[in-house]
Amino acid sequence: MNGRCNLACRYCYLYAGPDSGWRRRPAAPTAPVLDATAARIAEHAAAHGLTDLAVVLHGGEPLLAGAAVLGAVVDRVRAAVPARCTVHATVQTNGTLLDEDRLRTLAAHRIRVGVSLDGGLPGHNLARVDHAGRPSWTAAARGLRLLAEDRHRESYAGVLCVVDLASDPAEVYESLLDFAPPAMDFLLPHGNWSAPPPGLPASDERPAPYGDWLCTVFDRWWRSDHRRVRVRIFEACVALLLGAPASAESLGLRPFDAVVVETDGSIEQVDSLKSAYEGAAATGLDVFHHSFDDALAHPGVAARQGGLAALAGQCRRCPLVQVCGGGHYAHRYREGAGFRHPSVYCADLQRLIRHVAARLAEVAA
């Protein structure tokens, strides 16, 4: 929704990564782009008889566009889709621009609010700074506390946290609980075999520090809080181990059916692919000339829809594949050899899945 950000997070894969396409796009979409996007969403909903769809207003920092503008965009989509289709709208923000007026406006347009934060203490967020290098913690914490108040509670979607090995996992988890999120998720930093994540060596033989980190948090959640707050990665892992369907981009074999509309109207694959190389998310399609069905038929998008058959042989032979699903697609990349590889986090995912399975076995015993 906005192609710029008021922060300059030091690990940001969009603005500090290998893909510089954002520099060539406008900061905000024009009215024709918004009209065409709403029409394409409505076209897709009608063609597939959808009764529900999700619209995520992302960035950059989407609140730079203004809460009223975001509300008007969502209203435009709701007016365009068939009457039987419910549009679930969420804005994903860094939280620094949240205030009473903006939250009231977003609530009036039935837009829920998710906040990205690296932990609930100032020291957890040292990488989240503005363009002058100043910390964003004070503003983000103020916005989150406001969002957690009873009068805004219905708008509170939850918190996304990128795992940082330098931070104590139990401390991070407990500190996030202080903001009373209804849900949270822990995201692995984007990396791949050619650009390994922090703390992982560039070799096939590696430890599982991210798996260890997540296991520590899982135990805290499982033993005391799993009915108090939803943690998406853990709930998905439990569901998949029990044979139930689960929807998570980083786990399972269900196709991930999302596309991104950029500020110039380009239709792209999910933006996490931009962490791999310049142009990795590009499709050559746009909302003026192509439908979302055209996008789903694009070879790059289709490659993510192939399920088990699309995975590397090592993954297909793994007894955990139904749960792991090969891991996040962007994390499988190796320069010159594409994405048909295990996740760079393979050892970490195995560590987490086996740990969760052991906890489930204890309950069943």
CA distance 6 to 94: 9
Helix 100-108 and helix 137-148, axial crossing angle in degrees, nearest 10: 50
How much is the pLDDT for 78? 98
Which of 341, 288, 352, 280 lies closest to 314, judged by CA? 341
pLDDT in tens, the chain (365 residues): 889 999 999 999 999 899 999 999 999 999 999 999 999 999 999 999 999 999 999 999 999 999 999 999 999 999 999 999 999 999 999 999 999 999 999 999 999 999 999 999 999 999 999 999 999 999 999 999 999 999 999 999 999 999 999 999 999 999 999 999 999 999 999 999 999 999 887 666 678 999 999 999 999 999 987 678 999 999 999 999 999 988 778 899 988 778 999 999 999 999 999 999 999 999 999 999 999 999 999 998 888 877 898 899 999 999 999 999 999 999 999 999 999 999 999 999 999 999 999 999 998 87
In this structure, the strands spanning 183-187 and 156-162 are parallel
CA distance 29 to 237: 37
Find the angle CA(15)-CA(20)-CA(23) to the nearest 5 degrees.
85
How much is the pLDDT for 203? 63
Token pair in block for residue 348:
């970490």
CA distance 277 to 279: 6
CA distance 353 to 211: 9
